[in-house]
Amino acid sequence: MNANCDHLASHTLFPATPAQITESQRRRHKIWGEDDMTEEEYIQTDEDCAKKVYGRDGKLIVWVLAPRDVPETLDFKCSCRTFLRAAVVHFPPSFTDESKEITEQVYAYSIASVCTPPQHRGKGYAHHMMRLLHWILAPKSYLDPSMFPREWGSPPMRMAGMPEGQFSVLYSDIGDFYKDCGPTLDEEGWVIRGAENTAVWDVNEIPEALLSIPIGSSLNWKWLSESDIPSTLLIDGTYLKQPEKILFTFLPSSIESYQRDRSKMFWQKEQNPLIDTWGVEYRTAENNITAYATWSYELKPSSPRTLVFNRLRIPFITNSKVDPDSKSMRITLVYELFTRIFKMARAHKLTRIEAWDIPENVLGFVRESEGKVIERKEHLSAIKWYGKEGNGSVQWVFNERYVPDKFKVSKLS
Three-class secondary structure assignment of 4-27: CCHHHHCEEEEECCHHHHHHHHHH
Contacts by residues 389-393 (CB-CB < 8 Å, ≥ 24 positions apart):
389/95, 389/246, 391/188, 391/191, 393/95, 393/245, 393/246
Asked whether residue 243 is assigned to any structural domain, the reply reads: no
Length of the chain in terms of residues written: 413
Domain assignment of residue 116, given as a range: 6-195+377-404
Asked whether residue 304 is assigned to any structural domain, the reply reads: yes
What confidence score (pLDDT) does residue 159 get? 93
Asked whether residue 271 is assigned to any structural domain, the reply reads: no
For residue 387, what is the domain's CATH number?
3.40.630.30
- Cα 243 to the center of its chain, rounded Å: 25
Q: Buried b vs exposed e over 103-116: b needs ≥16 C-beta within 10 Å?
A: eeebbbbbbbbbbb
Question: Are residues 320 and 387 located together in one domain of the fold?
Answer: no
Model pTM? 0.82
Asked whether residue 238 is assigned to any structural domain, the reply reads: no
What confidence score (pLDDT) does residue 211 get? 86
Task: Give the number of C-alpha atoms closer than 13 A to the C-alpha of residue 289, restricted to the C-beta side.
Answer: 21
What confidence score (pLDDT) does residue 61 get? 97
Q: What tens digit of pLDDT does each residue of 184-210 get?
A: 999 999 999 877 889 999 999 999 988
- 195/52 Cα distance (integer angstroms): 29
What confidence score (pLDDT) does residue 64 get? 99
Query: How many helices and strands (H and E) does the chain possess?
Result: 9, 16
Residues 6+ apart with CB under 8 A from 325: none
Q: What tens digit of pLDDT does each residue of 13-69 get?
A: 999 999 999 999 999 999 887 677 899 989 998 898 888 877 889 999 999 999 999
CB 63 within 8 A of CB 13: yes
CB 28 within 8 A of CB 81: no
Burial (CB count <10 Å: 0-12, 13-18, 19+), residue 285: exposed
Question: Are residues 40 and 172 located together in one domain of the fold?
Answer: yes
What confidence score (pLDDT) does residue 3 get? 42
Question: Are residues 156 and 282 located together in one domain of the fold?
Answer: no
- Per residue of the chain (413 residues), what is the pLDDT tens digit? 444 467 899 999 999 999 999 999 999 999 887 677 899 989 998 898 888 877 889 999 999 999 999 999 999 999 999 999 999 899 888 888 877 888 899 999 999 999 999 999 999 999 999 999 999 999 999 999 999 999 999 999 999 999 999 999 999 988 899 999 999 999 999 999 877 889 999 999 999 988 887 766 677 888 888 777 644 334 444 444 555 789 888 876 555 565 555 655 555 555 556 778 888 988 877 767 678 888 888 887 778 899 989 888 876 544 444 454 566 777 788 888 999 999 999 988 999 999 988 888 788 899 999 999 998 888 899 999 999 999 989 988 877 664 433 334 444 44
Query: What number of other Cβ atoms are within 10 A of residue 156's Cβ?
Result: 22
Asked whether residue 268 is assigned to any structural domain, the reply reads: no
Question: Are residues 165 and 217 located together in one domain of the fold?
Answer: no
What confidence score (pLDDT) does residue 2 get? 45
Question: Are residues 347 and 219 located together in one domain of the fold?
Answer: yes
Question: Are residues 326 and 339 located together in one domain of the fold?
Answer: yes
CB 69 within 8 A of CB 12: no
- 65/76 Cα distance (integer angstroms): 6
CB 252 within 8 A of CB 278: no
**Facing residues of 64 across strands?**
14, 79
Calculate the dihedral angle through the C-alpha atoms of 275, 278, 279, 283, rounding to the nearest 10 degrees.
Answer: -90
Provide the domain count of the chain. 2
- 104/246 Cα distance (integer angstroms): 12
- The closest alpha carbon to 84, from 115, 59, 49, belongs to 59
Question: Are residues 360 and 288 located together in one domain of the fold?
Answer: yes
Asked whether residue 261 is assigned to any structural domain, the reply reads: no
Question: Are residues 145 and 83 located together in one domain of the fold?
Answer: yes
CB 115 within 8 A of CB 411: yes
Asked whether residue 253 is assigned to any structural domain, the reply reads: no
What confidence score (pLDDT) does residue 408 get? 42
Question: Are residues 183 and 320 located together in one domain of the fold?
Answer: no
Question: Are residues 89 and 204 located together in one domain of the fold?
Answer: no
Query: What number of other Cβ atoms are within 10 A of residue 363's Cβ?
Result: 14
Asked whether residue 43 is assigned to any structural domain, the reply reads: yes
Question: Are residues 75 and 209 located together in one domain of the fold?
Answer: no
| Residue type at 317 in one-letter notation | I
- 122/129 Cα distance (integer angstroms): 13
Question: Are residues 40 and 72 located together in one domain of the fold?
Answer: yes
For residue 365, what is the domain's CATH number?
3.40.630
- 49/260 Cα distance (integer angstroms): 10
- Cα 6 to the center of its chain, rounded Å: 35
The two beta strands, 246-250 and 78-91, are: antiparallel
- The closest alpha carbon to 28, from 84, 112, 137, belongs to 112
